[in-house]
Amino acid sequence: MFPQRLDSPQAYDIAKAMLDGFNRHYRLFRTESARAKHRFETADWHGQQRAQRERIQFYDLRVKEATLRLEKEFKAGEQPMEVWQQVKLHYIGLLIDHHQPELAETFFNSVTTKILHRTYFHNDFIFVRPAVSTEYIENDEPAATPTYRAYYPTAETMHETIVRIVDNFRLGRAFDNLERDASFVLEAMSGRLAQVRLRANFQIQVLSSLFFRNKGAYVVGKIINGFNELPFALPILHNKSGKLIIDACLFGEDDLQALFSFARAYFMVDMEVPAAYVQFLRSLMPRKPRNEIYNALGLAKQGKTLFYRDFLYHLKHSSDKFRIAPGIKGMVMLVFDLPSFPYVFKLIKDYYPPQKDTTREQIQGKYLLVKQHDRVGRMADTLEYSEVAFDRARFDEELLAEIQKFAPSQLEISDRDGDGMEEVVIKHLYIERRMIPLNIYLQEAFDSNAHEQIERAVIEYGNAIKDLVAANIFPGDMLWKNFGVTRNGKVVFYDYDEIEYITTCNFRKVPEARNEEDELSGEVWYKVGPHDIFPETFGPFLLGNDAVKEVFLKHHGDLLDPEFWQKHKERIQAGHVHDVFPYERDKRFVRKLQPQPEAANV
C-alpha cells in the first residue's frame, strides 16, 4: 500500500541518517581515489597498491557504521512497516539532486537488508529497481569540472591539441618529451584517420579525470567524426629516469576491453558523477555489461547490484536449466552454469579428497586474496553472494543431486517467500565470467589438428603463469583445467584454492638420488617442507602431449627451472614492483626510440 502522507518524523530522520552514511562513504572513496594522482606523481607504487587494496574494504565499513547508528539512534529494527515504507520515499526525495543516486540507492539496500527481515526485501522497502534517474546529471557548481572535455582540432592543430589534452591534466611531474610523444600519438591516430574526410563534428572527447592503476595513468576518450566514433586510451608511465612518457596509443573496443578487463585490478578515478563516466565508457565498449564497468571503477557493490538485476532479468527471459559446468569437476569447488548466460556459479564443497588439506575459511581467504590483489589480467574477478534463491524448476536433477551430495550444508529447498513455488537457496556462492577451460580448448585443437591454436594457447598459458609470478602469485595447481580462455584468446587462471605468494614459497631443485633404490622408487624419498616447490617436477603432468611439449619447451622451458622462480622471488623481496602492460608490447612507443634489430642490419 502506498502511504498517502509522509507523517512519520522518524522516517525522515532515518532516511537522512542513511544518506549521511552514504555521503561519508563516497567522500572517503573519492578522496582516496583522487590521491592516486599524487601517488603516481611521486612514484609511490607500494602506496598505490596498498590503497587499491584498502579501498575495497571501505564500503562494508561504512555500511556497518550506518547500521549501528540507525540501530542506536532510531531503534531501526523495531520500526513498523509503515515507517520503513516512508523511509524509502523520503530517501528518494533526498536523492533528487544527488550526484551519485544509484550508488546511494545501493547503500540504502545494503544497510536496510542488514536491519529488516527478508520478507521486506521487495520494491516497497528497498530498491529492487532504481527509482532515481542517472541520466543527464551535471554538477552545476561553478568550480566543477565536467565529466568530459571536447576539443575541436583541425588537421593542422592535431599535434598541439594532443599536447593540450595531456597538459590539461596538470600532472606534477615533467614529461621526458611530450612534443615527441604527441607526434607518436598523432602518427598512430593518422593511421586511423588518413584518407578520412574530417566532418563538421570532428572532435576529441576526453574524460576529465585520469584513470590510475598500479604504475600507470590513462587518458581515456574518443575521436568523433561524422557517424564514426573511435575509442582510445593513452597510458602514461614513468620511464627509467623517472620522467613521464606516453607509452602507447590504444584504439578501438578490443584494446579498451583489455584495459578494463574483469581480470585486472580496479582503477582509481576521481569522479563526481560516476553514472556519467559509466555512460561514456559504455559508448566506448557497448558490449561490456554496465556491472563490469562499475566494477572496473572500484564501485564493486554497484557492480554486484547491477549484475544481480541483469541476472534476474535474464532468468525471466530464458527457459534453459542450470547444469553442472562442462569440464573436469573440481575437487573443492562445485561449479554450475546456465548455458544461455556467460557466467559460472561456484560453491565450496563440504567434503574434499584427502590431498586437499584445506577448509572453507581458507578457501574463502584465498578468493579474498585474489580480489584484493592485482590480478594482472590473469585472474578472474569474482562476485560473492549469500543466500541466492533460484527457481527449483530451472535446476537440472543431476546438478541438484550433486549439490545434495557434496555441499548439503549450502543447500535449502523450500518455498521461502510463500508464493507456492519451490526455490533452491544456495547459502554462499562465487560468480565469475565463464571461459572455455583450457583443457577443453586444447582438446578441440588436437581433434581438429589446429597446430596454430595449440601453439598460441600454450604460449599464452606460459605467459599467464609468468605474469602471475611477476605479481607475486604462485598458482599452486597449474594443470590446464585450472585455466580458461577468454573471448579474446587470453588465458586466465581461475582455481584459487592452492595459490600462495611467491615470497612464501621455497623453490628447490630435486636432490640427487642417494642410491639406486632412491632413483628407482616411485615415491618421493627426500624431505619436503610445507612451502617447498620443485619446478622440475611440473613437466610430467603438463607435457604428456608431444605437440604441447615442443611449444612449451621452446617458449617456457624456464618455468621448469627453480632458478627462474627463485630470481623472481628475490626481485619481489627487494621491493621491486613489476610493470603490467594491459596491451601488447609491440604497441609501445619505446620501440620507436630504440634501434630495431632489422634496422641495425641494414
Ligand X SMILES: Nc1ncnc2c1ncn2[C@@H]1O[C@H](COP(=O)(O)OP(=O)(O)OP(=O)(O)O)[C@@H](O)[C@H]1O
Whole-number minimum distance, CB 158 to ligand X, in Å? Answer: 43
Residue 331 in marked binding region: yes
> At what angle are helices 360-372 and 45-74 packed, to 10 degrees?
120
User: Among residues 395 and 480, whose Cβ is nearest to ligand X?
Assistant: 480
Q: Which is nearer to ligand X, 135 or 361 (CB)?
A: 361
The one-character DSSP state at 247 is -
Find the catalytic residue in 337, 381, 495, 497.
381
Given a contact cutoff of 8 angstroms between Cβ atoms, the answer to whether 438 and 484 are in contact is: yes
Of residues 594, 124, 63, 522, the one with CA closest to residue 300: 63
Cα separation, 540 vs 553, in Å, equals 12
Please state, in angstroms and rounded to a whole number, the distance separating the CA atoms of residues 537 and 549: 14
**Closest approach of ligand X to the CB of residue 284, in Å:** 25
Residues contacting ligand X: total by CB under 6 A = 22
Beta bridge partners of 491: 485
* 252 has binding-site annotation: no
**Helix 81-94 vs helix 101-115: angle between axes, to the nearest 10 degrees?**
160
Positions 397 through 436 that interact with ligand X (CB under 6 A): 432-435
Nearer to ligand X, 99 or 349 (CB): 349
User: Is 303 annotated as a binding-site member?
Assistant: no
| 366 part of the interface to ligand X, by CB under 6 A | no
Minimum distance from residue 434 beta carbon to ligand X (Å): 4
Q: Which is nearer to ligand X, 220 or 263 (CB)?
A: 263
Produce one character per residue of 119-133: b if its CB has 16 or more CB atoms within 10 Å, e if not.
eeeeeebbbeeebbe
- Near ligand X by CB under 6 A: residue from 22, 266, 494, 581: 494
Burial class for 192, CB neighbours closer than 10 Å (0-12, 13-18, 19+): middle
Question: What phi and psi values does residue 213 have, to the nearest 5 degrees?
Answer: -160, 130
Q: Does 221 bind ligand X (CB under 6 A)?
A: no
Angle in degrees, CA 209, 215, 219, rounded to 5: 30
Question: According to CB under 6 A, which residues from 461 to 480 bind ligand X?
Answer: 477
Shortest spacing between CB 405 and ligand X, in angstroms: 15
CA distance 519 to 431: 46
**Which one, 198 or 324, has the nearer CB to ligand X?**
324
Q: Which of 231, 274, 437, 535 binds ligand X (CB under 6 A)?
A: 437
231 annotated to a ligand binding site: no
Task: Tell me the three state secondary structure of residue 557.
Answer: helix
Name the β-bridge partners of 413: 424
CB 51 within 8 A of CB 57: no
Under DSSP, the state recorded for 223 is E
Q: What H or E segment, with its residue span, contains residue 115?
A: helix 101-115
Tell me: does residue 481 bind ligand X (CB under 6 A): yes
How many whole angstroms separate alpha carbon 521 and alpha carbon 462?
A: 31
Q: Contacts by 16-20 with C-beta closer than 8 Å and gap 24+?
A: 16/90, 16/94, 17/66, 17/69, 17/70, 17/73, 17/74, 18/66, 18/70, 18/87, 18/91, 18/107, 18/108, 18/111, 19/91, 19/94, 19/95, 19/98, 19/104, 20/66
- CB closer to ligand X out of 276 and 407: 407
Closest separation in Å from C-beta 331 to ligand X: 3
Q: How far apart are CA 26 and CA 37, in angstroms?
A: 18
CB of 440 to ligand X, least distance (A): 7
Q: Which is nearer to ligand X, 252 or 326 (CB)?
A: 326
Site string for ligand X, 316-345 (x = CB under 6 A): ---------x-xx-xxxx-x--------x-
| Closest CB to ligand X among residues 232, 441 | 441
Is 9 in contact with 242 (CB distance < 8 Å)?
no
* Window contacting ligand X (CB under 6 A); options: 37-45, 53-61, 258-266, 490-498: 490-498
C-alpha cell at 567: 630470481
Taking the least distance from each CB to ligand X, the nearer of 298 and 484 is: 484
Name which of residues 519 to 538 contact ligand X (CB under 6 A): none
330 assigned ligand-binding residue: yes
Q: Residue 341 CB, nearest distance to ligand X (Å)?
A: 12
Q: Is 353 annotated as a binding residue?
A: no
The C-alpha cell at 430 is 562465487
Per CB under 6 A, the list member of 210, 221, 495, 589 interacting with ligand X is 495
Q: At 106, list the grid cell.
A: 545501493
Among 102, 272, 381, 497, binds ligand X (CB under 6 A): 497
Look at strands 436-437 and 423-433 and give their pairing.
unpaired
- C-alpha dist (Å) from residue 121 to 8, 128, 316, 532: 21, 8, 19, 49
Please check whether residue 242 is in contact with residue 6, taking contact to mean a CB–CB distance below 8 angstroms.
Answer: no
Q: How far is the CB of 154 from ligand X (least distance, A)?
A: 48
DSSP string, 130-177: --S--TT----STTPPPSEEEE---TTTHHHHHHHHHHTT--SS-BS-
Of the residues 15, 271, 380, 572, which one makes contact with ligand X according to CB under 6 A? 380
381 is catalytic: yes
Contact partners, residue 523, CB within 8 Å, separation at least 6? none
Minimal distance, residue 367 CB to ligand X, in Å: 10
If the CB atoms of residues 212 and 395 are measured against ligand X, the closer one turns out to be 395
Cβ at position 326, least distance to ligand X in Å: 6
List the binding residues: 325-331, 346
For ligand X, the binding residues (CB under 6 A) are 325, 327-328, 330-333, 335, 344, 380, 432-435, 437, 477, 481-482, 484, 494-495, 497
List the binding residues for ATP: 325-331, 346
Catalytic machinery residues: 381
